[in-house]
């Protein structure tokens, strides 16, 4: 949770210097009001939350989300809730006007440095140009089901993604087919926006480009620990790199 709050502060303020970046009591807001919904984020920060506090926090979260012009997600780390709150979560979320969207898994590991990665089908290229950014955005849009223009709105014109973030494309015969990035957050590397073109999945491309982003990020920062939030598609891949699952995550949007 803390890694999400730290890393998303960086990427959201890069997208909009006037973005809503607030640390409220029990709630961290990281909201760029971008067309790219992953940059519109709220997360709960209390530890050991019980049912009554959860009800209050979700009501406040929904009110924050309704005040925005663009949709986004509540990222809820289940292990921050006590057993009673976890049992009541579905009911309390529905009462607050929140709809379950999809699952995730928090992962971390003391796995760095990694050896220089390679894949027989791929070459790697660091993101340094607008053309690279567009390719990176389009890979994420295709992988996660966003309209292309929404994905591009999340990255276009960014200096951070061309310099401060270690973002890489995996190219197959010169065509970008996978991407991954790492950014330093509180002395760790945070992995973000890993994606593989749906036509090229299950070939090890996502794992290879993630290893590249971790390798280069560790060389630049000296970090030895890395964290990430995995989708169901990525969850089986990351343990092969050295990540270990910790908290399940639930993503919620507003009820239509």
* Domains delineated in the chain: 2-105 (no CATH), 123-224 (3.40.630.30)
Digit-coded pLDDT (tens) for 112-135: 999 999 999 999 999 999 999 999
Q: How far apart are CA 159 and CA 47, in angstroms?
A: 35
pTM here is 0.94
Predicted confidence (pLDDT) per residue in 48-106, tens digit: 999 999 999 999 999 999 999 999 999 999 999 999 999 999 999 999 999 999 999 99
* Token pair belonging to 222: 């000296």
Residue 42 CA to residue 40 CA, distance in Å, equals 7
């Amino acid at each position: 949770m803390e890694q999400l709050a730290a890393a998303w502060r960086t990427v959201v303020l890069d997208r909009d210097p006037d973005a809503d970046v607030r640390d409220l009591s029990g709630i961290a807001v990281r909201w760029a009001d971008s067309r790219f919904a992953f940059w519109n984020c709220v997360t709960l920060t209390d530890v050991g939350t019980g049912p009554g506090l959860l009800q209050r926090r979700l009501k406040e979260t929904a009110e924050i989300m309704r005040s925005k012009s663009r949709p986004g997600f509540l990222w809820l780390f289940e292990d921050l809730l006590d057993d009673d709150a976890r049992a009541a979560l579905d009911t309390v979320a529905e009462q607050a006007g929140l709809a379950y969207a999809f699952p995730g898994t928090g992962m971390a590991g003391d796995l760095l440095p990694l050896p220089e990665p390679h894949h027989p089908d791929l070459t790697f290229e660091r993101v340094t140009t607008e053309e690279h950014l567009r390719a990176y955005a389009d890979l994420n849009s295709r992988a996660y089901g966003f309209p292309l223009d929404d994905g591009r709105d999340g990255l276009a014109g960014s200096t951070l993604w061309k310099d401060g973030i270690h973002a890489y494309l995996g190219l197959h015969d010169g065509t970008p087919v996978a991407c991954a990035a790492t950014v330093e957050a509180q002395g760790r590397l945070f992995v973000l926006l890993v994606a593989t073109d749906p036509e090229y999945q299950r070939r090890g491309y996502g794992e290879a480009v993630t290893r590249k982003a971790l390798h280069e990020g560790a060389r630049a920062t000296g970090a030895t620990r890395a964290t990430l939030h995995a989708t169901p598609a990525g969850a089986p891949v990351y343990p092969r790199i050295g990540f270990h699952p910790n908290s399940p995550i639930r993503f919620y949007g507003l009820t239509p």
